[in-house]
Structures are given as structure tokens and as C-alpha cells.
């Protein structure tokens, strides 16, 4: 499933970066990443975290049963397997903002497998999409004036 070379390279990158802490007050730049304990893949949460940081987000890792009330935006992730459960078909990301589902996307597996590098890439793409959504929301509240 996972190419050993990419897994080892991804593990090294993940371990060298580490996780950063967040303040207790949620910011628009903070994402609470909800750890998926049903997916038993070493360093998957770290790969997702690295990808989400790509757009400048600060990541706060929470277990599935931790209180999310201090989080304005949460991101959950998972893997979709084929019917035989012997191959990954895609990685899924879902964001919630203030308790409401905001966006859900899938990143397909390539060449019959999914590497940690691919997961981090898809998480980075998702983080850029969230940034664009935030920018659009900020601009939608602005007043516009027509030239006379």
C-alpha cells in the first residue's frame, strides 16, 4: 500500500517539523485537527498537519473525544478503502466552522496506493481552499461603491 521509501521520507520530514501549540483563544488562523483513531497508519495525523500548515494555519491536535468548544474551525480526515479493504482509494478531509459542516473533499489514490507525501499534498490543497473561502467571506461583507 504505502511505498516504503515515501513512508520513511515522510516520517523523517514529519519528525523534523514537530507540532506547535496554540493559544486558548481561537484565531482565524487556527485549525483544530481531530485525530482519527480508527485509521491505524503511523504518522498520518502529522502528514495532514504538515499539509494544513502550508497555508499558514496553526494546528492544534485534538483526540476524537476532546472538547471542541474552543475551536472555531475543526478538520477531520479519513481514508476510504476498496470493498476488499486491501487498498486505499482516497483520503477525505472535512472541515466544520462553528459546529457546522463547511467543506468536504477527497483526494484520490494514485497508482493503487497512497503515500504520506500524497496525504500532505492533498491537505495542503485543502488548506489553500479554506483560505480562499475565508478571503471570499471577508470580502462579501465589504461595501461596494459605484463610480459616478
> 25-56, pLDDT tens digit by residue?
445 689 999 999 898 889 999 999 999 999 89
> With bands split at pLDDT 50, 70 and 90, how would you rate the model's confidence at 90?
very high
Percent of the chain at pLDDT > 70 equals 75
pLDDT digits (tens, 9 = 90+) for 55-89: 899 999 999 999 998 899 999 999 999 999 888 99
Q: 37-45 long-range contacts, Cβ below 8 Å, gap at least 24?
A: 37/63, 37/64, 38/78, 39/77, 39/78, 39/79, 41/2, 41/79, 42/7, 42/11, 43/7, 43/10, 43/11, 43/14, 43/116, 44/77, 44/79, 44/116, 44/119, 45/77
pTM: predicted TM-score of the whole model, two decimal places: 0.74
pLDDT digits (tens, 9 = 90+) for 105-132: 999 998 778 999 999 999 999 999 999 9
Residue 16 confidence (pLDDT) above 50: no
Amino acid 28: pLDDT: 67
Amino acid at each position: 500500500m504505502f511505498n516504503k521509501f515515501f513512508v520513511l521520507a515522510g516520517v523523517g520530514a514529519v519528525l523534523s517539523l514537530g507540532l506547535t501549540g496554540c493559544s486558548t483563544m481561537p484565531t482565524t488562523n487556527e485549525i483544530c485537527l481531530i485525530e482519527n483513531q480508527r485509521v491505524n497508519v503511523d504518522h498520518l495525523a502529522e502528514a495532514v498537519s504538515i499539509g494544513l500548515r502550508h497555508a499558514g494555519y496553526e494546528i492544534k491536535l485534538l483526540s476524537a473525544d476532546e472538547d471542541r468548544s474552543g475551536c472555531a474551525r475543526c478538520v477531520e480526515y479519513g481514508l476510504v478503502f476498496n470493498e476488499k479493504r486491501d487498498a486505499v482509494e482516497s483520503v477525505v478531509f472535512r472541515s466544520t466552522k462553528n459546529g457546522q459542516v463547511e467543506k468536504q473533499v477527497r483526494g484520490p489514490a494514485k497508482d493503487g496506493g497512497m503515500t504520506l507525501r500524497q496525504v500532505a499534498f492533498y491537505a495542503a490543497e485543502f488548506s489553500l481552499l479554506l483560505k480562499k473561502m475565508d478571503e471570499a467571506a471577508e470580502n462579501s461583507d465589504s461595501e461596494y461603491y459605484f463610480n459616478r
